[in-house]
């Protein structure tokens, strides 16, 4: 009997992640957003903290993932936007699971995370914030 609520919760989490991804896709950035985006892209090309490629603290793991994606043929812009989209989807999905564990309203939490204007905004830009947010919820 316990399996049905767990299955429903997992489907709710997946639905929140898919909705978050789908509502961000049409607005995904098609160019670098600001100087931070450019510095991250330059860091993929040539990692040099002294030249602010990227700016300190350097985000070595983020740049490493972007370099890996670049090696697979994905340019820095699309790599960063893809990671932001992924972060938004991860956050929306895992907030459902976290909220259920804490005794809150999982559906409301997932809907709020997916449609929050600030989280939505950063979830479609070539910046690190959406990925950080999604990973933070995952770790919690």
Average pLDDT, integer, range 63-88: 97
Instruction: Label residue 39 by pLDDT band (50, 70, 90).
Output: very high
* Residue 25: both structure tokens together: 């896709």
Q: What domain range includes position 69?
A: 3-139
Calpha distance 34→122 (Å, rounded): 12
Tell me which residue has tokens 């100087």. 35
Instruction: Label residue 30 by pLDDT band (50, 70, 90).
Output: very high
pLDDT exceeds cutoff 70 at 21: yes
Q: Does the pTM exceed 0.85?
A: yes
> 16, 119 in Cβ contact below 8 A?
no
Alpha-carbon dihedral sign for residues 59, 62, 68, 74: negative
Quote the number of domains for the chain.
Answer: 1
Alpha-carbon dihedral sign for residues 58, 61, 67, 70: negative
> 64, 76 in Cβ contact below 8 A?
no
Provide the 3-class DSSP secondary structure of residue 111. Answer: helix
Instruction: Label residue 137 by pLDDT band (50, 70, 90).
Output: very high
For residue 2, the model assigns a pLDDT of: 61
């Amino acid at each position: 009997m316990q399996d049905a609520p767990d299955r429903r919760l997992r489907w709710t989490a997946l639905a929140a992640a898919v909705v978050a991804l789908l509502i961000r896709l049409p607005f995904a950035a098609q160019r670098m957003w600001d100087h931070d985006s450019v510095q991250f892209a330059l860091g993929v090309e040539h990692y040099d903290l002294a030249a602010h490629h990227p700016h300190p603290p350097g985000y070595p793991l983020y740049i490493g993932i972007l370099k890996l994606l670049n090696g697979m043929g994905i340019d820095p812009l699309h790599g960063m936007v893809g990671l932001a989209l992924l972060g938004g989807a991860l956050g929306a999905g895992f907030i459902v699971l976290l909220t259920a564990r804490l005794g809150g309203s999982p559906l409301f939490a997932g809907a709020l995370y997916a449609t929050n204007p600030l989280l939505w905004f950063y979830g479609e830009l070539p910046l690190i914030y959406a990925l950080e947010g999604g990973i933070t919820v995952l770790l919690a």
